[in-house]
Every structure is written in structure tokens, then in C-alpha cells.
Amino acid sequence: EEEAERQKREEEERQEAERQRLAEEEAERRKEEERQEVERQRLAEEEAERQTREEEERQQVELQRLAEEEAERQKREEEERQEAERQRLAEEEAERQRREEEDQERQVMERQRLANEEAERQKQEEQQEVERQEDERQTREE
């Protein structure tokens, strides 16, 4: 009986030790799974942060590109506006010079006309003087 009792106790102790060992293994396995889950979560967060950074950088590059395009467009518009203004001023200057030349031409023609009239008047006066002197001479002779 004592032997049977001893064997029974030993068997129970062995089974208890086995249960203990299995429980410890299970606890270790769960602990490892939790560690792996924590690592997966950390890696997922790092990936999400990396993607967020990349997206922000991509958006920043896009904003920069758009800002440069807008600045270039405004520069082109300003250059076109200045060119149109230069063109307008050049056309105004050409028109002013044309009018000035026409005015000078008219003045020259007017001076020429007045000079011709004056020459004609003097010629008539001289002719009248010659005729008057001729009349006086004839009167004296008579």
C-alpha cells in the first residue's frame, strides 16, 4: 500500500510538474505573441508615419511647383503688360512726331505762301511805282 501510495503521489507530482511546465510554456508563448504584436504595432506606426511624411513632402513639393508656376505666370503677364505699355508709348511717340512733321510742313508751306504773297505785293508795288513814274514822265513831257 505504501508503495502504491508513493507511486500515486509521484505520478500526481509528475503530472502536476507537467501541468506546471505546460502552463509556463503557454505563458511564454503568449508573452512572445504579445511581444510580436507590440513589434508589429510599432512597425505599422513607423510605416504610417513614414507614409505621412512622404505625403507631406510630396504635397510640399507640389505646392512649391504650383507657387513657382504662379510666379512665372505673373512674371510673364507683367512682362507682357510692360511690353504692351512700351508699344503704346512708341506708337504715341510716332504719332506725335508725325503730327509735328505735318505741322512743320504746314508752317513751311504757310511761310512760303506768305513770302510769295509778299513778293507779289512788292512786285505789284514796284510795277505801280514804275507806272506812276512813267505817268509822271509822260505828264511832264506833255
User: Residue 44 corresponds to which cell in the numbers above?
Assistant: 505599422
Counted residue by residue, the chain has a size of 142
10-residue mean pLDDT series, the chain (142 residues):
94 97 98 98 98 98 98 98 98 98 98 98 96 92 84
Place of cell 510605416: 47
pTM, full prediction: 0.45
